[in-house]
Each structure stands twice: as structure tokens, then as C-alpha cells.
Amino acid sequence: MRITKQARREAKQLFRAAVVNGVLDDTRARKVVQLLLEKKPRGYLAVLTHFQRLLQLDIERRSARIESAQPLSAENQATVKQNLSGVYGQGLTYAFTDSPALIGGLRIKVGSDVYDGTVRGRLDRLQDSF
């Protein structure tokens, strides 16, 4: 489906309407989708598709993925959360995963920022430097 400039613009306006105090409001977003599907304005599918993409990008921007070699204790998780919200502000969603392949340390990805303190990452960098 071709998404026209007009559709992009409209989707962006709707997206702005769903944001309260710089944070996306879930109920508003749901309402937007509901209204679009009910009223079916011209090119609503294109608008909806772009709206979905904008939402997806926003969610990615506000989600923190924390990978660790071993499962983190609740205490450690709280520390990480506190530190991250200090840097990126409130409204982050956190996902903790553990992957033994990292050998040790933490790998944190928030939006497109990556903090890599894992042993694996350091080994990879060492390998790249040769």
C-alpha cells in the first residue's frame, strides 16, 4: 500500500493528539484507532498503517532491553531501573533477559543507544581491532 504524504501528515497529527506530557497515552491511542475504524475517513488504512509505525518507533524509543549473563536480582534490577530513568526520564518500559553467551556483564539498549559492558562485547571489539 502506498502511504501518501497526506496520510503521513494526518497520522502524525493523530499521534501528537495521543501524547500527553511527552508520554504516549495508551487509552488515547486506542481511541484514535477505534474512531478511525468506525468513521473510515478517506485513506484511513494508510493513516492507520503509518500510525502503527509511529507507535512502534515510539515504543522502541522508550523501551529498555537489559541483557545479562546471569539473571539479575530484584535489587540489581531496581538499581538499573533507577539509573536509567535518571538518564532517560520516566516512562521507560523495562525488559530483562539473560543470555549466557554474554559471559559476563550487562548490555543495555535504550532506543538506539547501546551500552555494552559485556565480556563478549569486549572480546568482539578485540577481534575487530586485529
Partner 1 sequence: MKTLLEEIEAQIEGAKSTPAKVNVGTVREIGDGVARIEGLTDCMANEMVDFGSGVFGLALNLEETEVGCIILGDYSKIHEGQEVRTTGRLLSVPVGMSLLGRVVDSLGQPLDGKGPIKSETFYPVEKIAPGIIRRKSVSQPVQTGIMAVDAMIPIGRGQRELIIGDRSTGKTTLGIDTIIVSAPAADTATNQYLAPFGGASMGEWFMDNGMDALIIYDDLSKHAVAYRQVSLVLKRPSGREAYPGDVFYLHSRLLERAARTSEKYGNGSLTALPIIETQLGDVSAYIPTNVISITDGQIYLETDLFYQGVRPAISVGLSVSRVGAAAQVKAMKQVAGRVKLDLAQFRELAAFAQFGSDLDPQTQAKIERGKRIVEIFKQPQYNPIALEIQVSVLWGAQNGYFDDVPVEKVKDFQNKLSEYLTSRKGDLMKRVAKEQTISDALANDLKAAVVEFKQTYSTK
**Residues of this chain that bind partner 1 (CB under 8 A):** 57, 61, 105-106, 109, 111-117, 121-122, 128
C-alpha cell at 82: 533507577
- Whose Cβ is closer to partner 1: residue 43's or residue 111's? 111
Minimal distance in Å, beta carbon 16 to partner 1? 13
Are β-strands 63-68 and 93-98 bridged in parallel, bridged antiparallel, or unpaired?
parallel
Minimal distance in Å, beta carbon 114 to partner 1? 5
- Whose Cβ is closer to partner 1: residue 12's or residue 81's? 12
- Whose Cβ is closer to partner 1: residue 18's or residue 50's? 50
Please report where in the chains the cell 521507560 appears, as a residue: 92
Minimal distance in Å, beta carbon 33 to partner 1? 20
C-alpha cell at 5: 504524504
Long-range contacts of 117-126 (CB under 8 A, 24+ apart): 118/67, 118/69, 119/69
